[in-house]
């Protein structure tokens, strides 16, 4: 399996069993140390609680930037919401919160329900680049947002943060 890295170069990807097999067939001091480390660390990393808290990556075709999600929602005649209002809505309903460094991040509830995810986006400036964690709304999240917005508003409404509906997160 191959994927493209941030520089658009093709790089190999291995599932865990294949990666271990490659390491076992190339015994060096480094691969031996890595295999020992993996043997000690993987059980902790693969713990059910740890995995439940992990942020799953949705395919790019199944997740939308907040701006794009707002555009999609805004096409509905019963919803009028822009990018900034959607960020405010996500915060109000407990799906997103500000990280101390300023970027938005999904809450545990949004991760558990697979409503939001994050992606490391490359920002280029001249010859330099930096990575930025950008909030994405999954297809499941977009469907839930649409459902909750429709449930409370049958006529076009410009949403203000204090009037936004809060979805049921118990289900």
Which tens digit of pLDDT belongs to each residue from 7-60?
A: 556 666 667 788 888 889 988 999 999 999 988 988 887 777 776 666 555 555
Domain edges within the chain: 2-52, 60-163
Q: Going by C-beta distance under 8 Å and a sequence separation of 6 or more, which residues neighbour residue 152?
A: 165
Task: Please give the pLDDT value at position 56.
Answer: 55
Task: Output the pLDDT for position 4.
Answer: 58
92: its two tokens: 């109000």
* Token reading at 170: 């118990």
Q: Is the pTM of this model over 0.95?
A: no
Across the chain, mean pLDDT equals: 80
Dist. CA 23–CA 140, nearest whole Å: 38
Answer left, alpha or beta for residue 85, where phi above 0 means left and psi between -120 and 50 means alpha.
alpha
């Amino acid at each position: 399996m191959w994927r493209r890295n941030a520089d658009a170069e093709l790089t190999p990807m291995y599932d865990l069993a294949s990666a271990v097999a490659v390491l076992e067939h190339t015994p060096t001091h480094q691969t031996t140390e890595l295999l020992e480390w993996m043997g000690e660390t993987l059980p902790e990393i693969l713990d059910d609680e740890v995995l439940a808290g992990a942020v799953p990556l949705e395919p790019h075709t199944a997740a939308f930037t907040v701006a794009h999600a707002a555009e999609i929602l805004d096409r509905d005649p019963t919803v009028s919401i822009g990018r900034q209002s959607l960020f405010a809505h996500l915060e109000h309903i407990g799906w997103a919160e500000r990280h101390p460094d300023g970027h938005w991040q999904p809450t545990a509830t949004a991760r558990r329900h697979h409503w939001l995810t994050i992606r490391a986006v490359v920002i280029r400036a001249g010859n330099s680049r930096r990575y930025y964690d950008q909030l994405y709304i999954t297809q499941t999240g977009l469907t839930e947002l649409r459902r909750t917005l429709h449930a409370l508003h049958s006529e076009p409404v410009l949403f203000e943060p204090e009037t936004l509906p809060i979805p049921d997160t118990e289900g």
